[in-house]
Structure 1
């Protein structure tokens, strides 16, 4: 690193780390290194060849593609989206309702009336909307979204047509499973009710990248010199509050030790690792150890697993106008907690399958989502076991025992990734938005006489309103870059530093 300007190291080359580097580089801070633990950039953005085209192993959609979404704005500037996604009509859509399913199958192999599905969906959506009204009080710290929804169901089902009760309960249970995938949790009983409304949903109909989500990552990387990103450099320890002498005779407060023994000195480090990694390693990853309030915030917050199962078929068994298939297990109810045998029942957590578009470019591919303990258990199974289970599942639900099996299958394994340990964050019961703010605060803390801004934190889990999203991750990277830029602008203005 050059000695003529502050040395900034960034841990992780996901979108938050790359975004921070891009902003710093543009503002003249060129003494940069991004240390990436794996052999690829992008983090939880990962596009991979499959079928006839690309599928998203990680982030799938731009959620809320409109003027307030920086990922959408950046993607538009780079010309990465199709015209339909960028249309004004698409940007104005207010999407505050459950998924609209093209077809709903029951476990007895029958199609469920779409009007019934729509009625239950509207009822569920109204309760979910009510659950977001506790931001300013009205519930305790241990109340959950799941318990609130069950309370609403308990107070309503007595008015239903008796012949419809069992079916509607099964449908509601399926909606809750889908909600687990959206929130990245095992159960909505784990999601805190009070902070739930702090999550901000942006307008716009969710869209995808024709050339893969990684096309955005690649565009950001093009604005940086090739030697800034160092792959296969997992950092073992972040040493701070130190006095480490560099080869340039300068004294640096931060030293990063990699697992292979390499060391890097810096004035500042921006830590962008996933919350799942911090949950596993925070107590030994940073030395001196993180303050108690930050360690507590890390443990309080939720970080779950949401995996995908991709299925390619030689020919589609669904109609051309079908976009989302819902699967409903008869006999299930959100008001009855059943004993789960993961070996036998893991597949019951999968509640819907998306038809990937457009088939002319990608082939006939379905993408199923599965969250929680069942998702993590799936990672222990062989490809052959999952293929067999999915074939039997689809034959059962479509009522066609001769349905041809998939010709290709691909499953994600986010829980098993050693530097990720899951998919994305949520505000867990016993936690609050304040924990997100605590995690985002740099070290040393205010009032500490040590050199400021030695360790900064970015990533989706550090954004109070957009956690779990790529736009939250992007904004957090910009936020920490701006923090450093403002710091050095202030020093330059009083004549303490003039080499930027």
Structure 2
């Protein structure tokens, strides 16, 4: 019998990191594993909803890099949740570098459709510069502090030196580059690319495979994983107030032995544990960093939490009677002709928040979804959008679409939007590497407490979740891998001879 089989293990958060950790521990013979979930549902930032009769993803959208290296893809195949095309070897071999090659339509604010010949040089320049931005991490250089600053400097240089067409074309291309910066804000989950560290940007690694979706919804994956956990493993509606570690919570244990950690819920209920795996989002950690743990986290951990970025990226789904886009169109870009200064923020959030909406992706296939668009908006403008009523959002976006298409009769039938910033247990969408961040910040965040070298019982409080993965932060597969990592850390602790336990990040 393994020494740790009866260890009390508590997992905070029932997102994919928490579920993955619980599954692994239970499979390896741990008997006392429980998950405390603040809400009434499992899945965390994987959240499937509906717009009329259509399945839509309110949270995680794609499997990024669906190939054999991606554990989410392997599980989705195992549970038979994907279509044949997504599972094909051809699909797994495609290299997209984090930017799937969508077939676009462009509309300008003067109500005309722009042609691809005019926009192509801007698209090519954008991809070239972003590939360069990703190289600075490995080269150890950082010519400017942020991705946004570097991109703007280099883009303006090329535009001034090489785009010799008329001024109108040049201005339109620069305006489109501004739109593409807004796209990148959504991809990175940041308010502005001026907040994203240039030297750290290349820490994020992509996997091969053409990003794919779940025909039956991403939550199908969570459902299958949950079905493999013993009944009553997860306790719902248990928001945690404080994790008391290092025997600081003086209360006699009911089982006659003292556990070093006591988790106190907002309700006043307490749970004793030998080990706690914290899988809550970085946004929540940032907001509650000084009260969530008692004693407080070491300074180096607190500083890393403060330095790392956690932003908001929201979706706005719209259903139409008829499409105003081409049949083969996969993405619609809105180009504001008066925005040629490469700005990815708006000057007046309340009056002009909708300008941060870069455009839409088209939900495919139309036979399944009808005519549904998913609008994308990041940053403080996105957070402001969350405070408006659905009707206010619908009216504003309807006016924008009418202006850009030149068609005054277009009217979406239905609207559904996400509100990740207002979600009290998420406080945003996902992690990015902010200005001043480095690999060490993610390592600091992932490091268990007490820190190495302490004489106290090891692995009392452990950390998982997408923010704790060096190269897959912001992804579902990154979150799952970190849940497994912390489970393996405990397995290693209980199967390695005393004194040889290693900290394995």
Tell me the TM-score range normalised by the shorter chain: over 0.9
**Which residue matches 1:386?**
393
Alignment partner of 2:151 out of 149, 152, 155: 149
Q: Secondary structure at the match of 1:153?
A: helix
Give me the whole-angstrom Cα distance separating, in 1, the residues matched to 2:154 and 2:185.
18
The answer to whether residue 178 in structure 2 is matched with residue 176 in structure 1 is: no
For 1:94-113, what aligned pairs fall within 5 Å after superposition? 94-96=95-97, 97=99, 99-113=101-115
Give me the whole-angstrom Cα distance separating, in 2, the residues matched to 1:30 and 1:220.
18
The answer to whether residue 255 in structure 2 is matched with residue 248 in structure 1 is: yes
Give, in angstroms, the shift of residue 275 of structure 1.
0.2
Larger mean CA deviation between 196-205 and 157-166 belongs to 157-166
Give me the whole-angstrom Cα distance separating, in 2, the residues matched to 1:130 and 1:369.
25
Alignment partner of 1:130 out of 129, 132, 140: 132
Gaps of at least 5 residues in structure 1 are 495-500
Indicate conservation of the 8 Å contact 2:51/2:415, yes or no. no
Q: Secondary structure at the match of 1:277?
A: helix
Deviation by residue 1:404-440 (Cα, 9 ceiling, x = unmatched): x111101110000111100000000011121011000
Give me the whole-angstrom Cα distance separating, in 2, the residues matched to 1:87 and 1:338.
40
**Which residue matches 1:75?**
76
**Which residue matches 2:43?**
42
Gaps of at least 5 residues in structure 2 are 501-505
Give, in angstroms, the shift of residue 282 of structure 1.
1.1
Larger mean CA deviation between 92-101 and 104-113 belongs to 92-101
Q: Secondary structure at the match of 2:340?
A: coil
Give, in angstroms, the shift of residue 162 of structure 1.
4.4
Give me the whole-angstrom Cα distance separating, in 2, the residues matched to 1:368 and 1:390.
9
Q: Secondary structure at the match of 1:318?
A: coil
Larger mean CA deviation between 315-324 and 281-290 belongs to 315-324
Q: Secondary structure at the match of 2:140?
A: coil
Give, in angstroms, the shift of residue 297 of structure 1.
0.3
Larger mean CA deviation between 49-58 and 181-190 belongs to 49-58
Give, in angstroms, the shift of residue 493 of structure 1.
12
Give me the whole-angstrom Cα distance separating, in 1, the residues matched to 2:17 and 2:104.
35
Indicate conservation of the 8 Å contact 1:14/1:42, yes or no. yes
**Which residue matches 2:164?**
161
Q: Mark the CA change 1:469 to 1:336 in structure 2 (over 3 Å): closer, same or farther.
A: closer
Give, in angstroms, the shift of residue 123 of structure 1.
1.1
For 1:187-336, what aligned pairs fall within 5 Å after superposition? 187-242=192-247, 244-335=251-342
**Which residue matches 2:478?**
472
Report the TM-score, using the length of structure 2 for normalisation: 0.94
Equivalent pairs, count: 490
Deviation by residue 1:74-100 (Cα, 9 ceiling, x = unmatched): 111111111000001101111035753
Q: Mark the CA change 1:338 to 1:354 in structure 2 (over 3 Å): closer, same or farther.
A: closer
Q: Secondary structure at the match of 1:425?
A: strand
**Which residue matches 1:120?**
122
**Which residue matches 1:426?**
432
Indicate conservation of the 8 Å contact 1:310/1:365, yes or no. yes
The answer to whether residue 460 in structure 2 is matched with residue 454 in structure 1 is: yes
Indicate conservation of the 8 Å contact 2:345/2:356, yes or no. no
Q: Mark the CA change 1:401 to 1:463 in structure 2 (over 3 Å): closer, same or farther.
A: same
Give, in angstroms, the shift of residue 352 of structure 1.
2.0
Indicate conservation of the 8 Å contact 1:52/1:361, yes or no. no
Larger mean CA deviation between 158-167 and 361-370 belongs to 158-167
**Which residue matches 1:438?**
444
Q: Mark the CA change 1:79 to 1:98 in structure 2 (over 3 Å): closer, same or farther.
A: closer
